[in-house]
Structures are given as structure tokens and as C-alpha cells.
Copies of this chain bind each other. A is one copy, B any other.
């Protein structure tokens, strides 16, 4: 039905227009530049109240953040790379809207003063983290929602992510600079819960995924290399002081190296065909960074980072082989891009590791760094054990919020007006839907290792 296609196109255009106008109005009312003042004064009032203070060398601070903004988008590359060419247009739409919305929502939570939101480079960094989490969530439902639903998912996902992050970092004051918990775990389980709610039986019998071939692999290569280049610096920029050895950079590199080797250990054992697809190596890379999100800036030690990375690298192959089929058939949760294996479980592992290291933290081992990683422990208002308990408590809080939020979001997306009518889902109105659809199916094909040799 061509009219239907037209209607769906115009609905997307209209929603984009409305959201943009709405955002512009909110920006006009609330958002101002962060005041032009000495860094010291700025930090007293606003942003630095919820972040670790920078002792000693404060002046190159804004340079750091400046770089961070630059690198933040580097990480988006990695995600875009994962989803293939078809879904990139939608991904960029999500990024463009999520950044604006995250600046608003996080501004209300963190940077609100005298009725105004004061945005600076730090706002953009927070918005980047938030956008990354939403992109992870979309990985679970890619191919089964239309762009209008995607935008609503982004709207709600950004809001819920920000609330969860505020509870964890602002109220519970846990340490999670690289987002094992806030970004990876939240993003994965939120997306999975939305996917569960959106489950419709007949959708599973869709046509066989087409072979997206080398095109997808090009993106995997570019994405993998971007992760290697940018992520260690990205996670470090919030935490590294100028004159300290960058533990988090070293830890992340070691973790990446070990997780890659782990993939080469496990894949030949698990699968018959003796070739590796780049996307599997990218999975290992993502798992390797997810596990270092929380523990990276702690005293994980070089060999500890290798071990953690190795374990994290084992998760995706095992998960795709044994867990994803169960998830799909028993729990009726389709996971298009396998975010559970790549972000969810490694994020959980990273959280447990961070908790363990929190419990072991002593002023002797950390030195001046303790002030940065665990400010409350350094000030004496918490013992290391208490801090570790809080870190552990953050896990069920995140899972609860992700699940409840996912249910709510799924229910909204399931509303009648938004769903693409099932009967027309085949040939006519699928062009824009296809765009999102061809993304991750190549991953789905890995669930059945019997599908013959992937050339």
C-alpha cells in the first residue's frame, strides 16, 4: 500500500521536526554557556561538585576535556561499525538527537543552577557516554523497530540512562569512570528488555538473513581499529592526572590484547569452519573494553588486566554458541547484535572486578591516586569495604532500573499507532525499515554454527 509508505515517511519527518523544535525551545529557555571564569571558581559552583576534583595540576584540565569530546565520537564509530552500512543512517539520526536530549536531561541533573543549565565541554562528554549506551540498546532491537520507534526509544533511553547514572555517580558515589555498569550493563539489559516486550511470534520466521559479505567486514575492521586507538584514551581522559602514569590506558591495552588472543583460542575449538570473521574479533575487542570500564583506573595490575581481558574475550564466543539460542527460544528475547554477550556479561564481570578491587584498595597502594578514584575513602568518610559494598549495590539497582525502564519503553513502542502494520511488513513499506534491518543479521547467522563455512 503506497499510501501507507507515504504516511510512515511523513510520520518520521513530522516527529523529527517536532522533536527538534521542542529541543530548540528548551535550549532557548534553559541552556547557557558555562560562565567565563577561572577554573577554580567554576569548579566550586557547578560541575566539579559531582566529579573528582583535580588536585594539583588544574590548568590543563580544559584541554583534557577538549580532547575527550573529540574522542568521544571516536567511540561512536565503533558502534556504527558494528551495525553495518544499512543501519548507519538511522544510527546517525539517533546520535544527533540523543546528544541534544542528553545535554538537556543531564543538564537538569548535574549542571542546573539558578534555573539555567550551564553547558561546557564536560556536558558533551557526558552526552557522549549516554549516546553510547543508547546505541548499545538499539543493537538488541535493530531490524524489528522502525525509525519512529527508534527515536522514541532514544528519547526514553536517554532519560532513563541519565537517571540511573545520576543515582550511581551522584547519590551512591560509586566509581565507574569507563562505564562498565552505567554504559555497558545498563545499555545491554535495557535493550534486551525492550526486545523481550516487542517479541512477536511470527517475526521469528522472517526470511533468511542475506549475506552482507565483505561490506560489513570493512566496518568491523575500521571499528576494531578505532576501539584500539581511541577507547583507552577515552576512558582515561576523565581520570588521569597530568603527572601520573596512566594506569587506565595500560590496563585497557593489556585487556584488549588478551581478549583478542582469547578469541583465537576459543573460536577454532567451538566452530567447525576454520576461518575467523572480523566481527568476531570486534566482539572480543568490545568485551575487552567493557570489562575494564570500572576497574581500569584501579590497581588491577598488568597481569590482572591480562587475566580479566582473557576471561572477557572468552564470553562472546561462548555466549553466541550456547546462550543466545536459549535466550531466543526459551526467554523469547531476540538479541539482533548479541549485545548480551558483548556488552552485558562483560560489563557484569567488570563490575564484579571493580567491586573486588574496591574492597582491596588501600592508601598505601594507591597513593595520591586514591583521592581521584575513591574520593570518599581518601577523605575517610567511607572504608574501602563500605565503598566496595556500595559498588556492588549499584549492580542490582542498575539491573532493576534497566528492566523496569525497558518494560515501560517496550510498552510505549508497542502502542498501536507506532507499530508498522504486520501485513505490510513484507515488500512495500520496508525500504526505510530495511535500512535498519540488514544491520546485524549476519551475527544472527552465527547462532547456528551449522550454517556451513562462512567464506
A27, B221: Cβ atoms closer than 8 Å = no
Q: Given the interface contacts A19-B261, A24-B307, A245-B62, does A368 sit within 8 Å of B12 by beta carbon?
A: no
A124, B249: Cβ atoms closer than 8 Å = yes
List chain B residues, Cβ under 8 A from A124: 249-250, 253
Give CA–CA (A228, B303) in the complex, Å. Answer: 35
How far does the Cβ of A231 sit from chain B's closest Cβ, in whole Å? Answer: 10
Pick out which of these stretches binds chain B: A30-38, A318-326, A392-400.
Answer: A30-38
List chain B residues, Cβ under 8 A from A76: 225, 228
B274, A8: Cβ atoms closer than 8 Å = yes
- Which interface residue of A32, A96, A219 has the most chain B CB atoms within 10 A? A96
Give CA–CA (A273, B6) in the complex, Å. Answer: 9
List chain B residues, Cβ under 8 A from A369: 36
Give CA–CA (A333, B347) in the complex, Å. Answer: 49
B276, A229: Cβ atoms closer than 8 Å = no
Q: Given the interface contacts A23-B306, A33-B301, A242-B59, does A260 sit within 8 Å of B96 by beta carbon?
A: yes
Is A411 engaged at the interface, CB distance under 8 Å to the other chain? no
A85, B214: Cβ atoms closer than 8 Å = yes
**Which residues of A, 1-55, contact B by the 8 Å Cβ criterion?**
5, 8-10, 12-13, 16-17, 19-20, 23-25, 27-28, 31-34, 36, 38-39
B225, A77: Cβ atoms closer than 8 Å = yes
Give CA–CA (A242, B247) in the complex, Å. Answer: 24
Give CA–CA (A388, B27) in the complex, Å. Answer: 26
A27, B306: Cβ atoms closer than 8 Å = yes
How far does the Cβ of A388 sit from chain B's closest Cβ, in whole Å? Answer: 21
How far does the Cβ of A286 sit from chain B's closest Cβ, in whole Å? Answer: 13
List chain B residues, Cβ under 8 A from A453: 431
A264, B10: Cβ atoms closer than 8 Å = no
Is A269 engaged at the interface, CB distance under 8 Å to the other chain? yes
DSSP majority for the A interface? helix
Q: Given the interface contacts A24-B307, A100-B306, does A66 sit within 8 Å of B9 by beta carbon?
A: no
**Which residues of A, 429-452, contact B by the 8 Å Cβ criterion?**
429, 431-432, 434-435
Binary B-proximity of A250-278 (CB < 8 A = 1, otherwise 0): 10011011101110111111000111111
Is A417 engaged at the interface, CB distance under 8 Å to the other chain? no
Q: Given the interface contacts A85-B221, A261-B19, A302-B27, does A431 sit within 8 Å of B36 by beta carbon?
A: no
A221, B88: Cβ atoms closer than 8 Å = yes
Is A113 engaged at the interface, CB distance under 8 Å to the other chain? no
Is A423 engaged at the interface, CB distance under 8 Å to the other chain? no
Pick out which of these stretches binds chain B: A67-75, A166-174, A193-201, A337-345.
Answer: A67-75
Is A97 engaged at the interface, CB distance under 8 Å to the other chain? yes
Give CA–CA (A434, B276) in the complex, Å. Answer: 11
A73, B229: Cβ atoms closer than 8 Å = yes
List chain B residues, Cβ under 8 A from A92: 224, 260, 281
CB closest residue in chain B, given A63 = B242
A89, B121: Cβ atoms closer than 8 Å = no
**Which residues of A, 64-103, contact B by the 8 Å Cβ criterion?**
66, 69-71, 73-74, 76-77, 80, 85, 88-89, 92-93, 95-97, 99-100, 103
Is A178 engaged at the interface, CB distance under 8 Å to the other chain? no
Is A421 engaged at the interface, CB distance under 8 Å to the other chain? no
Is A217 engaged at the interface, CB distance under 8 Å to the other chain? yes
B66, A246: Cβ atoms closer than 8 Å = yes
How far does the Cβ of A267 sit from chain B's closest Cβ, in whole Å? Answer: 8
B100, A254: Cβ atoms closer than 8 Å = yes
A100, B257: Cβ atoms closer than 8 Å = yes
B214, A274: Cβ atoms closer than 8 Å = no
B121, A264: Cβ atoms closer than 8 Å = no
Given contacts A59-B243, A69-B253, A73-B228, 6 further A-B contacts (CB under 8 A): A20-B258, A24-B310, A63-B242, A121-B245, A124-B249, A124-B250
Per CB-CB distance, the 10 closest pairs between chain A and chain B, nearest first, are A27-B303, A96-B260, A9-B268, A28-B303, A96-B257, A13-B268, A73-B229, A31-B302, A16-B264, A274-B431
6 cross-chain CB contacts under 8 A:
A19-B261, A34-B245, A59-B242, A96-B260, A123-B250, A273-B431
